[in-house]
A and B are shown apart, each in its own frame.
Chain A
Amino acid sequence: MSAPGSAPGSASQGLARRSRWRVAEIIFWLLAFAAVFLPPGKHLLLNEVAILALFALSLDLILGYAGIISLGHAAFFGTGAYAAGLLCKLVTPDPLVGMAAAVVAAAFMGFVTSFLVLRGTDLTRLMVTLGVALVLHEVANALPQWTGGADGLQGMAVGPLLGHFDFDLYGRTAYAYSLTTLFVLFLLARRIVYSPFGLSLMAIRRNTLRASALGVPVNRRLVAVYTLAAAYAGAAGALLAQTTAYVSLEVLEFQRSADVLLALIIGGAGWLYGGVAGAILFKFLHDTLSSSSPQFWMFWMGLFLVVLALVGRERLGGGVRGLLARARR
């Protein structure tokens, strides 16, 4: 935030200052890439973390920056997953082509449905996004000749990445692929968020009426960011489909939309690393807690949410982000 009464041009200076790379960030990404060379064993889990992180990043773009509550973000995840899966099965096994197709398909779906979330209150948006995901779930369920229905889309033979790297059983290639995709898309999101476009999104979230009074084309910005977030979610879906060589109806289920919301909330919305941090915590907690019993996990997750909501996300400073800020002080 710039001081009141500062000279014109300070907004762009402020953006430049905020977008500067910090040492901790660089270390984090170096560590993440170094994990590719760990001995095999944890790569499958790490792959899931990277996919969830990308998915949460996508939700953060609309929830944390533009303030659109979505309970149906799995719609775009699933669209991407099925697009990548079908392309692999019917056209070409090349994963990068599949990824491109998934992104385009999900972005298209996001563009079309974005007009539905422009109007109405939080509650209306909640229901409409939920409804869109449910409709897609029903459609996928009703077209077993395409999607495999409840059995899932089987028989995907994903080709080697870049013609060289086969997807192995231990998930090393898978993790490297997912992490690279996450990193590239993260860089893009970072660029977007710290641009005037990103600032205008935050203005819309804070106060839609004032933003439009300032000349921000609210609806066009919302359509743009919703489409972008859908494309991101589609990329995450494609990653899941390609690295597991399987797509089931689960990619469109409510549980997936809820999980990604939880992951983002744990990490802290409106912060690019919120999705990444949340995904790491969420997956490792899930892995630890649900190994004894799935109900156990559900109970603690629920308790965490209730406490978080009661105490206030602001006071806790949005989960991890607050902890980091407190540690720095």
Chain B
Amino acid sequence: MATILFDGVAYGMLLFVLACGLAVTLGLMNFVNLAHGAFAMAGGYVTVLLMDRAGWPFLACLPAAFLVAAAIGLVLERTLYRHMYGRSHLDQVLFSIGLVFMAVAITDFLMGSSQRNIRLPEWLQGRREILGVNVGIYRSFLIVLCGALAVGLQAGLLRTRFGSRLRAAVDDARVARGLGIPVSLVFATTFAVGSGLAGLGGALGVELLGLDPYFPLKFMIYFLIVVTVGGTSGIMGPFVASMLLGVADVAGKYYLSSALGGFVIYVVLIIVLVLRPNGLFARAR
């Protein structure tokens, strides 16, 4: 029981890091970016390649995954995404699905369609008994790292000058621009950081989620659930939602059959969205 809860929390933490970039673009900037998983996939493949080919240690790969995904995000934001901000949701959906398809095809072409794995360093492997609960060491590592990131992000959004500029730009881009806030720069930076975090999540998730070219499509739904159920109030809603999703998914698949586990999640998703169309933690308007 406690082990399942623990695994669920670790899984949820991972989902949060993967999805928090989307929480900002979709939740705050109101851009339906179905291609978010592609950045995570990029981070995952960077890690796999650096560890396999260049023999980098796992920990050194994590910042690299972040930087590469952030760089890709920045380039795409400046060249393509920027033009799509004001468009209808249907256009954004088509645009980002197109990006996903291209990412899948290119990855498949370059890397092959097989599932890729990494070898974690020795000190992250295995399980240990802590306070009578059997916990995986890698999962504890995930919880500590992702928890720290969540706290840092929340603080960054609420306490720093950049955070308040971002919130202002999101609330009313025109007024923010009038006040001298470089809105497009703020958006670009935010987008890059969000993509980078997705890349980091992808790197961390290779062990738990697996990695193949269809990664962006497979997990797209999970990211969307985290953001839509969590609501658009900021970082905390998606954080709670990913915890719930992680625990529900792990527990559902453990107690029920693996098929029914998915069933429970989607039913909960529909019920939440029908009762609260703006998510559990909607901003008061």
Contact = CB atoms under 8 A, between A and B. Distances in A.
Interface residues of B, number: 44
A138 B266 contact: yes
Interface residues of A, number: 42
Contacts of B80: 306, 310
A127 B269 contact: yes
Nearest to B261: A138
Given A69-B89, A124-B228, A138-B263, A302 B217 contact: no
B265 to A, nearest CB: 9
A305 B100 CA distance: 10
B94 A308 contact: yes
Given A296-B105, A298-B105, A299-B102, A309 B95 contact: yes
A132 interface: yes
Contacts, number: 128
Nearest to B232: A123
A89 B269 CA distance: 34
Interface string B249-285: 0000000010110110011011001100110000000
A45 interface: no
B66 to A, nearest CB: 25
Nearest to B89: A122
B252 to A, nearest CB: 11
Interface stretch (A2-10, A29-37, A113-121, A271-279): A113-121
A303 interface: yes
B221 interface: yes
A301 B97 CA distance: 10
B260 to A, nearest CB: 6
A310 B80 CA distance: 8
Contact of A305 (B97, B109, B273): B97
B273 to A, nearest CB: 5
A312 B100 CA distance: 19
B99 interface: yes
Do most interface residues of chain A lie in helix, strand or loop, or is the interface mixed? helix
A128 B272 CA distance: 10
B235 interface: no
A301 B103 CA distance: 11
Contact of A131 (B92, B93, B109, B273): B273
A71 interface: yes
Given A126-B89, A309-B91, A121 B273 contact: no
14 contacts: A121-B277, A127-B224, A131-B269, A134-B262, A135-B267, A138-B262, A142-B260, A262-B97, A295-B104, A298-B102, A298-B105, A302-B101, A309-B92, A310-B80
Interface of B: 26, 32, 80, 83-84, 87-95, 97-106, 108-109, 217, 221, 224-225, 228, 257, 259-260, 262-263, 266-267, 269-270, 273-274, 277-278
Interface of A: 63, 69, 71, 116, 119-124, 126-128, 130-132, 134-135, 138-139, 141-142, 254, 258, 261-262, 265, 295-296, 298-299, 301-306, 308-310, 312-313
